[in-house]
Amino acid sequence: MTTITMPFTISGYSDENSNGAGYVAQEREKVFNYLQMSNALGFAAKGTFQQLEEVFEECSEQSWDGENAKPISKEVLQNAKMFLESFPLGIESPEIGSEPDGAITLEWYRSPSRVISISINPGGWLYYAAIIGSTRRHGMDFALFDVSEDLLALIDEVTWKI
């Protein structure tokens, strides 16, 4: 899989008052947003953010599952967007879903024995669980940080084409 990483901070140009650094940051954001619209590279063009909005619409009321599911909050929606925006370009789009505890889920799936699910929960935390062959992995992270190398490696293992 080919991915393109564009860090949000540029080493040596961290002074926010610097006009040069500000200009570079603005241009970087423009290029990143442009590439997000690329069918090959960006989640935006693949409809991932649209799916997020649809899930929010479907699950924003109490008991949206017909039982006692908790509604998905705007905070969770925003955190899920921010988390997805932190991904490098070129990653396969996840399927978006929802859980009865008010979480938004991102799933990458090849088969029942190659799957990873990430939950964006209220409070800014994310939780993940993966089955990759005989390997089981689960853990937690902070959704407001950029996606970790560890999670990217797990997603890569699931989506890797033989």
Q: Which residues pair with 131 in a beta bridge?
A: 115, 136
Say if CB 84 and CB 96 are below 8 A apart. no
CA–CA separation, 150 and 147 (whole Å): 8
Of the chain, the end-to-end C-alpha distance in Å amounts to 11
**Binding-site member from 35, 45, 131, 152 for another protein (CB under 8 A):** 131
The reply on whether position 133 binds another protein by CB under 8 A is no
**Binding-site member from 42, 81, 128, 151 for another protein (CB under 8 A):** 128
The reply on whether position 77 binds another protein by CB under 8 A is no
Q: Which of residues 46-65 bind another protein (CB under 8 A)?
A: 55, 58-59, 61, 63-65
The reply on whether position 132 binds another protein by CB under 8 A is no
Minimum distance from residue 162 beta carbon to another protein (Å): 17
Say if CB 124 and CB 141 are below 8 A apart. no
**Binding-site member from 4, 27, 138, 150 for another protein (CB under 8 A):** 138
How many DSSP H helices and E strands does the chain contain?
4, 5
Of the pair 15, 57, the CB lying nearest another protein is at 57
What is the signed CA dihedral for 142, 144, 148, 150, rounded to 10 degrees? 30
The binding site for another protein (CB under 8 A) comprises 55, 58-59, 61, 63-70, 95-101, 103, 105, 107, 109, 111-113, 115, 117, 119, 121, 125, 127-131, 136, 138-140
